[in-house]
Protein backbone atom coordinates (compact mmCIF):
# COMPACT_ATOMS: atom_id res chain seq x y z
CA UNK A 1 0.00 0.00 0.00
CA UNK A 2 2.68 2.54 1.00
CA UNK A 3 4.15 4.70 -1.79
CA UNK A 4 7.86 5.24 -2.37
CA UNK A 5 9.14 8.28 -0.51
CA UNK A 6 10.49 9.85 -3.69
CA UNK A 7 7.21 10.00 -5.57
CA UNK A 8 5.32 13.25 -5.88
CA UNK A 9 2.33 14.32 -3.81
CA UNK A 10 -0.08 13.47 -6.59
CA UNK A 11 0.91 9.83 -6.42
CA UNK A 12 -0.21 9.56 -2.82
CA UNK A 13 -3.73 9.92 -4.12
CA UNK A 14 -5.84 6.93 -4.92
CA UNK A 15 -8.86 7.66 -7.02
CA UNK A 16 -11.86 6.52 -5.08
CA UNK A 17 -14.52 4.51 -6.83
CA UNK A 18 -17.31 4.51 -4.29
CA UNK A 19 -19.75 1.76 -5.14
CA UNK A 20 -22.76 2.68 -3.10
CA UNK A 21 -26.44 2.25 -2.81
CA UNK A 22 -26.94 5.50 -0.93
CA UNK A 23 -26.41 9.03 -2.18
CA UNK A 24 -23.59 10.21 0.05
CA UNK A 25 -21.70 13.29 -1.08
CA UNK A 26 -18.09 13.14 -2.19
CA UNK A 27 -15.59 12.73 0.60
CA UNK A 28 -12.07 11.77 1.63
CA UNK A 29 -10.91 8.42 2.96
CA UNK A 30 -7.63 8.11 4.86
CA UNK A 31 -5.54 5.24 6.15
CA UNK A 32 -4.38 5.59 9.74
CA UNK A 33 -2.27 3.32 11.91
CA UNK A 34 1.07 2.69 10.24
CA UNK A 35 3.12 5.59 11.55
CA UNK A 36 3.43 6.55 15.21
CA UNK A 37 4.06 10.17 14.22
CA UNK A 38 0.72 10.73 12.50
CA UNK A 39 -1.22 11.73 15.61
CA UNK A 40 -4.01 9.90 17.37
CA UNK A 41 -7.13 8.53 15.77
CA UNK A 42 -9.22 11.08 17.64
CA UNK A 43 -7.02 13.91 16.37
CA UNK A 44 -7.32 12.55 12.84
CA UNK A 45 -11.10 12.74 12.92
CA UNK A 46 -11.06 16.10 14.70
CA UNK A 47 -9.47 17.72 11.63
CA UNK A 48 -12.84 17.50 9.92
CA UNK A 49 -11.09 16.52 6.69
CA UNK A 50 -12.05 12.86 6.52
CA UNK A 51 -15.30 11.01 5.97
CA UNK A 52 -13.81 7.52 6.24
CA UNK A 53 -10.86 6.35 8.33
CA UNK A 54 -9.37 2.94 7.59
CA UNK A 55 -7.51 1.55 10.60
CA UNK A 56 -4.47 -0.23 9.16
CA UNK A 57 -3.90 -3.14 9.44
CA UNK A 58 -4.97 -6.61 10.51
CA UNK A 59 -2.13 -8.32 8.59
CA UNK A 60 -2.32 -11.79 10.16
CA UNK A 61 -5.36 -14.03 9.72
CA UNK A 62 -6.62 -17.12 7.90
CA UNK A 63 -5.33 -20.69 7.61
CA UNK A 64 -5.85 -21.27 11.32
CA UNK A 65 -3.56 -18.43 12.38
CA UNK A 66 -4.39 -16.35 15.43
CA UNK A 67 -5.47 -12.97 13.97
CA UNK A 68 -3.33 -10.04 15.08
CA UNK A 69 -3.53 -6.33 14.39
CA UNK A 70 -0.45 -4.18 13.80
CA UNK A 71 -0.77 -0.46 14.43
CA UNK A 72 2.94 0.35 14.23
CA UNK A 73 3.94 2.71 17.05
CA UNK A 74 0.44 3.53 18.23
CA UNK A 75 -0.18 0.65 20.63
CA UNK A 76 0.86 -2.88 21.52
CA UNK A 77 -1.86 -5.47 20.82
CA UNK A 78 0.14 -8.20 22.58
CA UNK A 79 -0.54 -6.49 25.91
CA UNK A 80 -4.11 -5.41 25.04
CA UNK A 81 -2.68 -1.94 24.63
CA UNK A 82 -4.98 -1.03 21.76
CA UNK A 83 -8.25 -1.30 23.66
CA UNK A 84 -7.91 2.37 24.57
CA UNK A 85 -8.70 3.23 20.97
CA UNK A 86 -12.34 2.49 21.69
CA UNK A 87 -12.98 6.05 22.91
CA UNK A 88 -11.23 7.47 19.84
CA UNK A 89 -13.37 5.34 17.53
CA UNK A 90 -16.56 6.47 19.26
CA UNK A 91 -15.42 10.09 19.05
CA UNK A 92 -14.88 9.72 15.31
CA UNK A 93 -18.26 8.10 14.80
CA UNK A 94 -19.95 10.84 16.80
CA UNK A 95 -18.55 13.27 14.22
CA UNK A 96 -20.09 11.25 11.41
CA UNK A 97 -16.84 9.59 10.36
CA UNK A 98 -17.08 5.92 9.38
CA UNK A 99 -14.27 3.93 10.99
CA UNK A 100 -13.29 0.77 9.15
CA UNK A 101 -10.78 -1.98 9.89
CA UNK A 102 -8.42 -2.64 6.98
CA UNK A 103 -7.31 -6.25 6.65
CA UNK A 104 -4.25 -7.33 4.69
CA UNK A 105 -1.75 -4.69 3.66
CA UNK A 106 1.48 -4.78 1.71
CA UNK A 107 3.23 -7.03 4.24
CA UNK A 108 1.72 -9.72 6.37
CA UNK A 109 0.67 -13.35 6.64
CA UNK A 110 -2.85 -13.75 5.37
CA UNK A 111 -4.76 -16.03 3.03
CA UNK A 112 -7.91 -18.10 3.02
CA UNK A 113 -7.72 -21.83 2.43
CA UNK A 114 -11.42 -22.62 2.00
CA UNK A 115 -14.96 -21.31 2.24
CA UNK A 116 -15.04 -22.59 5.83
CA UNK A 117 -11.85 -20.68 6.58
CA UNK A 118 -13.52 -17.54 5.20
CA UNK A 119 -16.53 -18.18 7.42
CA UNK A 120 -14.32 -18.51 10.49
CA UNK A 121 -12.47 -15.28 9.70
CA UNK A 122 -15.78 -13.48 9.18
CA UNK A 123 -17.01 -14.78 12.56
CA UNK A 124 -13.83 -13.54 14.20
CA UNK A 125 -14.15 -10.10 12.63
CA UNK A 126 -17.81 -9.85 13.62
CA UNK A 127 -17.21 -10.84 17.23
CA UNK A 128 -14.00 -8.87 17.78
CA UNK A 129 -14.46 -5.67 15.75
CA UNK A 130 -18.07 -5.40 14.61
CA UNK A 131 -21.41 -6.02 16.29
CA UNK A 132 -20.69 -9.35 17.93
CA UNK A 133 -19.32 -10.09 21.37
CA UNK A 134 -15.98 -11.37 22.60
CA UNK A 135 -13.98 -11.20 25.80
CA UNK A 136 -10.86 -10.15 23.89
CA UNK A 137 -11.83 -7.35 21.51
CA UNK A 138 -8.48 -5.81 20.37
CA UNK A 139 -9.89 -2.29 20.01
CA UNK A 140 -12.22 -2.39 22.98
CA UNK A 141 -16.00 -2.31 22.92
CA UNK A 142 -16.40 0.19 20.08
CA UNK A 143 -18.28 -1.24 17.09
CA UNK A 144 -16.53 -0.47 13.82
CA UNK A 145 -18.51 0.41 10.71
CA UNK A 146 -17.03 -2.17 8.38
CA UNK A 147 -14.10 -4.03 6.88
CA UNK A 148 -11.68 -2.87 4.19
CA UNK A 149 -10.02 -5.45 1.93
CA UNK A 150 -6.46 -4.25 1.20
CA UNK A 151 -5.37 -7.59 -0.21
CA UNK A 152 -1.94 -7.44 -1.82
CA UNK A 153 -0.65 -10.97 -1.35
CA UNK A 154 -1.45 -14.54 -0.40
CA UNK A 155 -3.91 -15.99 -2.91
CA UNK A 156 -6.93 -14.69 -4.80
CA UNK A 157 -9.21 -17.40 -3.41
CA UNK A 158 -12.28 -17.10 -1.16
CA UNK A 159 -12.31 -13.30 -0.75
CA UNK A 160 -15.77 -13.40 -2.34
CA UNK A 161 -16.81 -15.89 0.35
CA UNK A 162 -15.47 -13.63 3.09
CA UNK A 163 -17.36 -10.67 1.62
CA UNK A 164 -20.58 -12.69 1.50
CA UNK A 165 -20.28 -13.87 5.10
CA UNK A 166 -19.51 -10.34 6.34
CA UNK A 167 -22.31 -8.78 4.31
CA UNK A 168 -24.79 -11.24 5.82
CA UNK A 169 -24.12 -9.79 9.27
CA UNK A 170 -25.85 -6.59 8.15
CA UNK A 171 -29.10 -8.48 8.63
CA UNK A 172 -28.43 -8.47 12.37
CA UNK A 173 -28.94 -4.71 12.61
CA UNK A 174 -26.20 -2.19 11.93
CA UNK A 175 -24.97 -2.27 8.35
CA UNK A 176 -21.51 -3.74 7.81
CA UNK A 177 -19.79 -1.61 5.19
CA UNK A 178 -17.41 -3.42 2.85
CA UNK A 179 -14.63 -1.51 1.11
CA UNK A 180 -11.59 -2.53 -0.91
CA UNK A 181 -8.34 -1.06 -2.19
CA UNK A 182 -7.46 -2.88 -5.42
CA UNK A 183 -4.61 -1.93 -7.75
CA UNK A 184 -5.71 -0.07 -10.88
CA UNK A 185 -4.64 -2.71 -13.47
CA UNK A 186 -7.91 -4.46 -14.28
CA UNK A 187 -8.99 -6.88 -13.02
CA UNK A 188 -7.25 -6.74 -9.67
CA UNK A 189 -5.06 -9.82 -9.23
CA UNK A 190 -6.24 -10.47 -5.68
CA UNK A 191 -9.85 -9.33 -5.19
CA UNK A 192 -11.02 -8.99 -8.78
CA UNK A 193 -13.53 -11.81 -8.47
CA UNK A 194 -14.77 -10.64 -5.09
CA UNK A 195 -15.53 -7.18 -6.47
CA UNK A 196 -17.82 -8.70 -9.09
CA UNK A 197 -20.19 -9.81 -6.33
CA UNK A 198 -21.55 -6.28 -5.97
CA UNK A 199 -21.25 -6.55 -2.18
CA UNK A 200 -18.73 -3.74 -1.77
CA UNK A 201 -19.93 -0.27 -0.83
CA UNK A 202 -16.73 1.66 -1.56
CA UNK A 203 -13.74 0.72 -3.66
CA UNK A 204 -10.64 2.91 -3.45
CA UNK A 205 -8.61 1.99 -6.51
CA UNK A 206 -4.87 2.50 -6.07
CA UNK A 207 -3.99 4.74 -9.01
CA UNK A 208 -0.40 5.06 -7.82
CA UNK A 209 2.69 2.83 -7.97
CA UNK A 210 1.10 1.25 -11.05
CA UNK A 211 2.71 2.75 -14.20
CA UNK A 212 0.18 1.27 -16.69
CA UNK A 213 -2.71 3.22 -15.16
CA UNK A 214 -1.44 5.50 -12.39
CA UNK A 215 -2.18 9.20 -12.01
CA UNK A 216 0.12 11.40 -14.10
CA UNK A 217 0.05 14.60 -16.14
CA UNK A 218 -1.32 12.55 -19.04
CA UNK A 219 -4.66 11.23 -17.82
CA UNK A 220 -5.31 8.99 -20.81
CA UNK A 221 -4.09 5.77 -19.14
CA UNK A 222 -6.02 6.54 -15.96
CA UNK A 223 -9.19 7.33 -17.93
CA UNK A 224 -8.87 4.13 -19.90
CA UNK A 225 -8.50 2.11 -16.70
CA UNK A 226 -11.47 3.92 -15.15
CA UNK A 227 -13.71 2.97 -18.07
CA UNK A 228 -12.72 -0.65 -17.64
CA UNK A 229 -13.50 -0.57 -13.92
CA UNK A 230 -16.89 1.03 -14.54
CA UNK A 231 -17.89 -1.41 -17.24
CA UNK A 232 -17.27 -4.54 -15.18
CA UNK A 233 -18.03 -3.69 -11.56
CA UNK A 234 -21.73 -3.99 -10.64
CA UNK A 235 -23.05 -1.12 -8.57
CA UNK A 236 -26.04 1.16 -8.26
CA UNK A 237 -23.74 4.20 -8.25
CA UNK A 238 -20.09 4.60 -9.12
CA UNK A 239 -18.01 7.62 -8.15
CA UNK A 240 -14.57 8.43 -9.51
CA UNK A 241 -12.30 11.13 -8.17
CA UNK A 242 -11.66 12.96 -11.41
CA UNK A 243 -12.58 16.59 -11.74
CA UNK A 244 -15.29 17.11 -14.30
CA UNK A 245 -16.69 13.60 -14.08
CA UNK A 246 -20.43 13.42 -13.46
CA UNK A 247 -19.75 10.37 -11.30
CA UNK A 248 -17.11 12.07 -9.14
CA UNK A 249 -17.11 10.55 -5.69
CA UNK A 250 -14.04 11.48 -3.68
CA UNK A 251 -10.45 10.50 -3.01
CA UNK A 252 -8.52 8.13 -0.80
CA UNK A 253 -5.17 9.19 0.64
CA UNK A 254 -2.28 7.09 1.87
CA UNK A 255 -1.71 7.97 4.63
CA UNK A 256 -2.44 10.25 7.57
CA UNK A 257 1.31 10.68 8.13
CA UNK A 258 1.92 11.86 4.56
CA UNK A 259 -1.18 14.03 4.65
CA UNK A 260 0.24 15.77 7.71
CA UNK A 261 3.33 16.63 5.67
CA UNK A 262 1.50 17.89 2.60
CA UNK A 263 -1.83 19.16 4.03
CA UNK A 264 -3.42 17.85 0.85
CA UNK A 265 -6.78 16.89 2.36
CA UNK A 266 -7.26 20.39 3.75
CA UNK A 267 -6.49 21.88 0.34
CA UNK A 268 -9.08 19.79 -1.51
CA UNK A 269 -11.78 19.34 1.15
CA UNK A 270 -13.88 22.31 0.03
CA UNK A 271 -13.65 21.31 -3.61
CA UNK A 272 -15.12 17.83 -3.32
Give me the catalytic one of 38, 43, 152, 193.
152
Angle at 19 between CA 258 and CA 178, to 5 degrees: 75
Residue 179 contacts residue 149 (beta carbons within 8 Å): yes
- Known catalytic residue at 152: yes
The answer to whether 133 and 127 have CB atoms below 8 angstroms apart is: yes
On the 0-12 / 13-18 / 19+ scale of CB atoms within 10 A, 95 is middle
Q: In whole angstroms, what is the distance from residue 243 CA to residue 119 CA?
A: 40
Q: How many CA within 13 A on the CB side of residue 40?
A: 12
Helix (H, G, I), strand (E, B) or coil at 228: helix
What are the backbone angles phi and psi of residue 18, rounded to the nearest 5°?
-95, 105
Structural contact between residues 272 and 250, judged by C-beta atoms closer than 8 angstroms: yes
For 236, residues 6+ apart whose C-beta sits below 8 A from its C-beta are 19, 20, 21
For residue 26, count CB atoms less than 10 angstroms from its CB and return exposed for 0-12, middle for 13-18, buried for 19 or more.
middle
Question: Residue 197, exposed/middle/buried by CB under 10 A (0-12, 13-18, 19+)?
Answer: middle
Alpha carbons 102 and 79: distance in angstroms, whole number:
21
Which are the catalytic amino acids?
152
Amino acid sequence: MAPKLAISLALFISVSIALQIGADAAGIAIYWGQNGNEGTLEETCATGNYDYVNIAFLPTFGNGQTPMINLAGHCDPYTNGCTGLSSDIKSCQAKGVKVILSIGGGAGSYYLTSKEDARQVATYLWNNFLGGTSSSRPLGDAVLDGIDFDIEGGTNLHWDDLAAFLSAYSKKGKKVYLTAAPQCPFPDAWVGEALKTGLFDYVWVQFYNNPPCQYSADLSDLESAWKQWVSDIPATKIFLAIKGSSKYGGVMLWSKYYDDQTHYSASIKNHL
